[in-house]
Structure 1
Amino acid sequence: MESQRNLLLIGLLFVSFLLWQQWQTDKAPKPAVTENTVATSVQETTHSADVPVAESGMPEETAVASKDLIRVTTDQLDVLINPVGGDIVHAALVSHKLELNKDEPFVLLEQKPGFVYIAQSGLMGSGGTDSTKGRATYSASAKEFTLADGQDTLTVPLSYTAANGAKYTKIYTFHKGQFAVDVEYKINNTTSEPLQVQMYGQIKQTIKPSDSSMMMPTYRGAAFSTADIRYEKYNFEDIQEKNLEKKTEGGWAAMLQHYFVSAWVPPKNETNTIFTRDSSGTANIGFMGEKKTVAPGTEMTLSADFYVGPKDQAALSELSDTLNLVVDYGFLWWLAVPIYKLLMFFQSIVGNWGVAIILITLTVRGILFPLTKAQYTSMAKMRNLQPKLQELKDRFGDDRQKMGQAMMELYKKEKVNPMGGCLPILLQMPIFIALYWVLMEGVELRHAPFMLWIDDLSVQDPYYILPLLMGVSMFLMQKMQPMAPTMDPMQQKMMQWMPVIFTVFFLWFPSGLVLYWLVGNIVAIIQQKIIYAGLEKKGLK
């Protein structure tokens, strides 16, 4: 019965862990959303009045009609660019659908009534494109740009000539098969005076409550990296409480949500300032580059990378050594990373994420089998010692010191470790939590089918068949180990109800995780039968 209690304890600890996380989320003060958070729609797009400027004051707003927006289409992105400021005000991910088996793409960046989530960039300084008088209005050679078949890159140049004659070209470069976009500013100083410029890029998002739940404790908010801080979240409440100002070499600034991320990655060999701003119910996070001087009659190019897409660890790592950390595995990242790599390896062989989960379950159970066998053996020995332990209790009564000494001598004589059943649970719990986060954070499992009715491993079983099968497997495991007659009646009732309680909990778990638990139970039942048969041959019941 001890092993059954151990397995149930794993689940209880895990559910308690989720409840604690959700309590932390629910009890944290919610950011206030004011009437000013209502953003204009794409049909009446305006640029933000909160873009940073080098001197003082903020640029004035300038409206632009939807017909003036510039559309860029690739095999991965469908983007709308506002000529005012050259900001990306809409980004749909062509290869990631909003819903399973539907054609509508998932929209990450957008601007609509009540919500704004856009990527802005520009040049500050006396010779920049953004000032207190407003932001530059760029012109393009066409209203639509499309990455043609057989074309690897698509360049979208936006031109602006200042009143003093200085010429600026903002260039977006899109790549086939990629969600990363190159952003360049070419400054041609045709004037007789030096131009002071400083590039910035920021992501602006309306502050809104998270969609997180106990079974899906996901994060929505900002994050950043510096030379000293590899990865740190900076949620909306943090942004409202205090502006972030961190000078660093390299670094990046991002907005995160479940499965997807947008991020500015400035040049890694330059000194940048990572900053945040709270402005009328919107949160901004971004970078400011080094101040540059463009001499008269010369040209200069400033650049940064912008990523808008899924949390693809390989693609993110190409932009920055630490950007892949936005796939947040928590404090068990050191265990989750090899589990993720092993899961990817299995999937590359079988081509099915559900089968890959089954294979990794078999692998984990196989690795732990020697410890599981030692656990059952120890428990069997402990059960066989119960009559002798009872004799010691009868002999020494309430003398705990002599009772303890006698028990230790008995354990030593019989070569029994009373803690032998604890090690497997200490190993299984972190492995289970790490795998949980791998399955939760892996965008690869989003809309990934398994077989039959399971067409998306990242969401709950629509017919609750897997949770019910999991409950049945727990019930069978419980029947294999009859309750000890010395167990308290209340404990017996709790153990009898455990399969039901866990079945109810698992109704809302992602089906990929339920599949892991179900297969683990089945393997555990088989292992128990094999181990019990071996123990009975040795005379241990």
Structure 2
Amino acid sequence: MNQTRTFLLFALLAIGYVLWSDWQKDYGPQPPPPPAATTSDASVPGASGAAGTIPSADGATTSGKPAHLITVTNDVLRLTIDTRGGSIVRSELLAYPSEPRTKNNPAPAPARLLDDDPSHFFAAQSGLVSTQGNAPDHRAVFDAAQDSYTLTEGQNQVKVDLTWTGNDGIKVTKSFTLTRGSYVIDLAQRVDNGGSATWTGNAYEQLQRLAPAATKGWFQSFSDPSSHSFFGAGWYSPQDKFDSLGFADFVKKPLNRPVTGGWIEMLQHYFFVAWIPPANESTVFSTSVNNPNTATPIYLIRALSPSMSVAPGQNATASARLFVGPKLQGTLDAVAPGLELSTNYGWLTAVAQPLHWLLSKLHAVVGNWGLAIIVLVLLIKAALWKLTATQFRSGAKMRKLQPRIAALKERYGDDKVKMQQAMMELYKKEKVNPMTGCLPVLVTMPIFFGLYRVIMESVELRQAPFVGWIHDLSAPDPVYVLPVLYILVMLATQWLTPPAAGMDPAQARMMKIMPVMFGVLFFFFPAGLVLYWVTNGLVSLGQQYFITRQVERADLKTKTS
């Protein structure tokens, strides 16, 4: 298999993978319409004891007091909290612009993850429920001392206290604490029992969101990297590790299980939100769908804590942590075990994670993600030098045998058995293994697809500039320089490697056209991926030229000696 065919095989497989993924989204098996019962309120048993009724959908408030919004800001996050339920209804990631900076827009708005826009609804909610009914769920209206909280110079933390008081002496203080430089929010729900009877209830945390609008079609999705990323719910348990649930599967495969030491999350491209219960608590993870028979169903994943009892004059606190931020690999497992798996590489995890680690180390040295990709290619090619050298030498020897193979075809005509036997004898005599050229493809194919996932999923490459006209390695090359360069590399490779003797003229013409066809499709691939492909092609082209000439000189020396 010559180098041109190797490149084309990679390109064909990559494009086929993307097309198959998008076809599955548009035309794959769809879940049946969910039953109407899904909209009802959920009374879910806790890990120990029974919980009260948790409202699945946001109905009327449990208090006639008006709710309002408050903001809390540290150096990396700006949150908007609704005093109705103490729900976090908006989050802005201050270090991540919503779009690339340009001369016309030097300071774009921060990327928004949680969102109270009805067309992008996404909220992190929490509350308490009790069979006695005297508990503030995520619809209850709390009181706040002020409308704005900001981490000031010299402070390490900023804290927001929201309070709710029941008619029977029960007081609940819901506290959010943000720490400097951290995307983790600490939540504490403290119950003070000022009544005359023991209070029993459960705490819960949940995420609710609309499914993002789908891209219009498969062709448009080529220029939208997020269309190839996973959107949906995820959870982790120490026993079963990471699992996920796409929005289309919420009804077919509902989650309802107790977990100790795990977490729940909602995932999207580059960012995610996760509730992390205490590691020593057995919580019940569950999913459901609100408004399932409408055009805007709301998808929910919840963690319900064990029952707790508070005697008169006593208090108890239920705690949890909320992560709202980017999929920064190498940092997430320090937040919670297994959280690194939120960067969902799927079955390519074993290849993609080491590649991302190496790419990050190279970036720390060279200071540019594009240069890091180039250096990564050089390292991979150096590691596989002997393997690819064997491929090129095998190809050179096979080309030398083409006239003799053509003569065998003329001699044996349509007798395929004798023809095959004669070819095997020829290969054995000349010490040529025709399968040698396929081995590098089998080795480098996982590397290519693993790097594809790394470039598509790594938030570090989001809006990362390379040189000049390339301001975002995760988006297509805006002036198509890299795809055109790829086409030129492929044509040069074809020129260096003429078609095998006996190839059908139609096949030969198709081999010349295919690089242009695939190069045009690469116009819609992320620039970082095309940069990898171009660099790989240039290095391979140079290596092929060097080894081919080396073999030719060795043959010439043998003939003249």
Matching residue of 1:73:
73
Aligned to 1:41: none
Structure 1: 5+ residue stretches without partners: 37-47
Among 535, 541, 548, the residue aligned to 1:519: 535
Partner in structure 2 of residue 44 of structure 1 = none
The residue that corresponds to 1:409 in the other structure is: 425
Residue equivalent to 2:177: 173
**Take 1:77 and 1:127, find their aligned partners in 2: how far apart are those partners?**
37
2:60 aligned partner: 61
Match of 2:260 among 239, 246, 249: 249
CA separation in 2, counterparts of 1:432 and 1:120? 40
1:17 — aligned with what? Answer: 17
Q: Post-superposition shift, 1:494?
A: 1.1
Q: Which residue of 2 aligns with 1:145?
A: 149
Deviation at 1:464, TM superposition (A): 1.3
Single out whichever of 182-191 and 171-180 deviates more from structure 2. 182-191
Match of 1:6 in 2: 6
Residue type of the alignment partner of 1:488: D
- Relative to structure 1, the CA distance from residue 129 to residue 103 in structure 2 (aligned partners, 3 Å threshold; closer, same or farther) is farther
Return the alpha-carbon distance in structure 2 between the equivalents of residues 379 and 214 of structure 1: 34
Q: Is the 8 A contact 1:128 1:196 kept in 2?
A: no
Does 1 or 2 have the higher relative contact order (CA < 8 Å, sep 6+)? 2
The change in CA–CA distance for 1:104 and 1:60 in structure 2 (over 3 A counts) is closer
> TM-score, normalised to structure 1's length?
0.91
SS at match of 1:293: strand
Equivalent residues in 2 for 1:340-355, closer than 5 Å: 340-355=356-371
Query: Is 1:258 matched with 2:257?
Result: no
User: Any conservation in 2 of the 1:380–1:540 contact (CA below 8 Å)?
Assistant: no
The alpha carbon displacement at 1:383 in A equals: 2.2
Indicate conservation of the 8 Å contact 1:222/1:256, yes or no: yes
- 1:280-359 alignment to 2 at 5 Å? 280=291, 281-359=297-375
> 1:311 & 1:374 partners in 2: Cα distance?
40
Q: Which residues of 2 match residues 102-141 of structure 1 at below 5 A?
A: 102-126=107-131, 130=135, 135-141=139-145
User: Which SS does the other structure have where 2:371 is aligned?
Assistant: helix
SS at match of 2:434: coil
Q: Matched residue of 1:385: which SS? A: helix
- Does the 8 Å contact 1:49/1:60 carry over to 2? no
Q: Which one of the candidate residues 228, 248, 251 is aligned to 2:239?
A: 228
Worse-superposed segment, 139-148 or 437-446: 139-148
Distance 1:308 1:276 in 2: 20
Residues 125-156 of structure 1: per-residue CA shift (max 9 Å, x gap): 23676479x84322122111000122111111
Superposed CA RMSD in Å reads: 2.7
- Point out the more displaced range, 55-64 or 420-429: 55-64
Distance verdict in 2 for CA 1:131–1:80, change over 3 Å: closer
Which residue is equivalent to 1:91? 91
1-structure distance, mates of 2:556, 2:395: 10
How far apart are 1:398 and its partner, in Å?
4.8
Alignment of 1:443-462 (within 5 A): 443-462=459-478
Measure, in 1, the Cα distance between the counterparts of 2:487 and 2:444.
Answer: 19
**Does the residue aligned with 1:333 lie in a helix, a strand or coil?**
helix
Deviations along 1:247-292, one digit per CA (max 9) or x if unpaired, are: 1112211111111101111112211111111111101012111111
- Matched residues, percent identical? 41
What does residue 387 of structure 2 align with? 371
Range 20-29 or range 348-357, more displaced: 20-29
Deviation (angstroms), 1:312: 1.4
Q: 1:189 aligns with which of 180, 188, 193?
A: 193
Structure 1 runs (4+) deviating above 6 angstroms are: 30-34, 63-67
SS of the residue corresponding to residue 429 of structure 1 reads helix
Instruction: State which drifts further: 222-231 or 204-213.
Output: 204-213
After superposition, give the CA deviation of every residue in 1:223-260 in whole Å (9 maximum; x if it has no partner): 22223332222111211345320211122111111111
Between 24-33 and 254-263, the greater mean CA deviation after superposition: 24-33
Give runs of aligned pairs for residues 500-511 of structure 1, distance below 5 A: 500-511=516-527
5+ long unaligned stretches in structure 2? 45-50, 102-106, 292-296
Deviates most, 24-33 or 450-459: 24-33
TM-score, normalised by the number of residues in structure 2 = 0.88
Q: Are residues 298 and 504 of structure 1, via their aligned partners in 2, closer, same or farther at CA, if it must alter by over 3 Å?
A: same
Equivalent in the alignment of 1:276:
287
Matched position secondary structure for 1:85 = coil
Q: 1:65 to 1:12 in 2, by over 3 A?
A: farther
Deviations 1:498-528 (A, max 9, x none): 2211111111111111111111111111111
How many residue pairs are counted as aligned between the two chains? Answer: 528
2:192 and 2:33 map into 1 onto residues whose CA distance is: 43
AA at the equivalent of 1:99: E
- The change in CA–CA distance for 1:124 and 1:363 in structure 2 (over 3 A counts) is same
Bigger mean CA offset, 438-447 vs 470-479: 470-479
Which range moved further: 410-419 or 369-378? 410-419
Cα separation, 2, equivalents of 1:496 and 1:116: 50
